[in-house]
Amino acid sequence: MRLQGKIALLTGAGSGIGRKTAELFAKEGATVIVNDIDEAKGKETAQSIQASGGNALFLHADVTDAASVRLMVESAIQAYGRIDILFNNAGISGVGAIHEIEPEAWDRVVRVNLRGVFLPSRYVLPYMMERKSGNIINMSSCIAEIGLARRASYSATKGAVLSLTKSMQVDYAKYNIRVNAILPGTILTPFVEQYLQSAYEDPEAAIAAIRTRQLSGNLGRPEDVANGVLFLASDESSFMMGSPLYIDGGVVFGKDA
Ligand code: NAP
């Protein structure tokens, strides 16, 4: 019960890493506010938590839309009076080198992956500041640290999220608010399955190539990342501030040849 009594808001928690993290947070005693743009998937996460005896509430919002995010935060505050933990997880992939990317596609990736971290933080922070207590975890990626082929828009946003995390930490340390980033390697989720299908002629060969890229020899699982997010969300990481936590099967710091 490492999050006993905590109120946690997780964006994009209808699928993949967000869903696993929501389930783990609930098991550890948190009341979980599940956000997603996809109502059916978000409700499914909340219902699976409730079915296992946990506390969960689904709140629909598009994290790129200020009015929608503001309403979500106000509804959460109305329901529980505070938000202790914010996991800015919602994100989308972006494939292509610069010359291959349509401007609208670039803007969409930036909106979801960067504005989608700014807006929930923008509306949750005043409540955390008032209570002089809070914990924010931003979803970056190990791609923030390495060059990877044809991921220009995605890597630009995830690098920005890492920089933003450090900047936020400095601004809000005086309010006893911690802000850290999580940097996963390739984790097998619907998100990765989808970009493998859309970006490669031979998705099987692509998976094989990704396996060799990781020292672990395999892709990560959503629960591998959820465990790291739990650590950042709990008091066990209380001396971590503005830091990246890598959960990447050795992609960033390892080289086999
Ligand atoms: P996922 O399975 O696709 O889950 C992401 C969820 O966010 C989806 O349910 C998605 O809904 C939702 N979402 C998208 N746009 C949204 C919006 N505007 N407002 C609210 N929710 C929105 O992906 P995942 O693999 O778990 O990824 C979660 C996060 O981890 C992302 O930020 C991703 O960049 C990051 N990450 C993933 C990996 C990986 O290998 N999987 C590695 C590093 C970092 P829709 O399905 O309807 O779009």
- pLDDT of amino acid 121: 99
Q: Is the CB of 36 under 6 A from ligand 1?
A: yes
The catalytic position among 154, 172, 195, 246 is: 154
Report pLDDT digits (tens) over 85-144. 999 999 999 999 999 999 999 999 999 999 999 999 999 999 999 999 999 999 999 999
Is position 18 within any domain? yes
Share of the chain above pLDDT 70, in %: 100
In this predicted structure, the answer to whether residue 54 has a pLDDT above a threshold of 90 is yes
Atom of ligand 1 nearest to the CA of 93: 34
CATH number reported for the structural domain that contains residue 161 in this entry: 3.40.50.720
Query: In the annotation, is 154 catalytic?
Result: yes
Is position 210 within any domain? no
Average confidence (pLDDT) over 9-35 = 98
Is position 209 within any domain? no
Is position 100 within any domain? yes
Q: How far is the CA of 127 from the centre of ligand 1 (A)?
A: 25
Is position 196 within any domain? no
Is position 154 within any domain? yes
- pLDDT of amino acid 212: 87
Q: Is the CB of 30 under 6 A from ligand 1?
A: no
Is position 158 within any domain? yes
Work out the pLDDT band at 159, boundaries 50, 70, 90: very high
Rounded CA gap, 18 and 31, in Å? 15
Q: Residue 55 carries which DSSP code?
A: E
Backbone angles phi, psi at 138, to 5 degrees: -105, 135
Instruction: Tell me the average pLDDT of the chain.
Output: 97
In this predicted structure, the answer to whether residue 198 has a pLDDT above a threshold of 90 is no
pTM over 0.85: yes
Owning domain of residue 58: 7-187+221-247
Is position 42 within any domain? yes
- Structural domain count of the chain: 1
- pLDDT of amino acid 137: 99
Going edge to edge, which strands form the sheet with 31-36?
A: 55-60, 31-36, 7-10, 85-88, 134-139, 177-184, 244-247
**175-205 as b/e, with b when 16 or more CB fall inside 10 Å?**
eebbbbbbbbbbbbbebbeebbeeeeeeeee
Residue type, 187: I
Q: Which of 79, 53, 63, 70 is nearest to 14 (CA)?
A: 63
Please name the residues in contact with 140: beta carbons below 8 A apart, sequence gap of 6 or more.
158, 159, 161, 162, 165, 181, 182, 183, 244
Q: How many CB atoms lie within 10 A of CB 154?
A: 23
Q: How far is the CA of 139 from the centre of ligand 1 (A)?
A: 10
In this predicted structure, the answer to whether residue 3 has a pLDDT above a threshold of 80 is yes
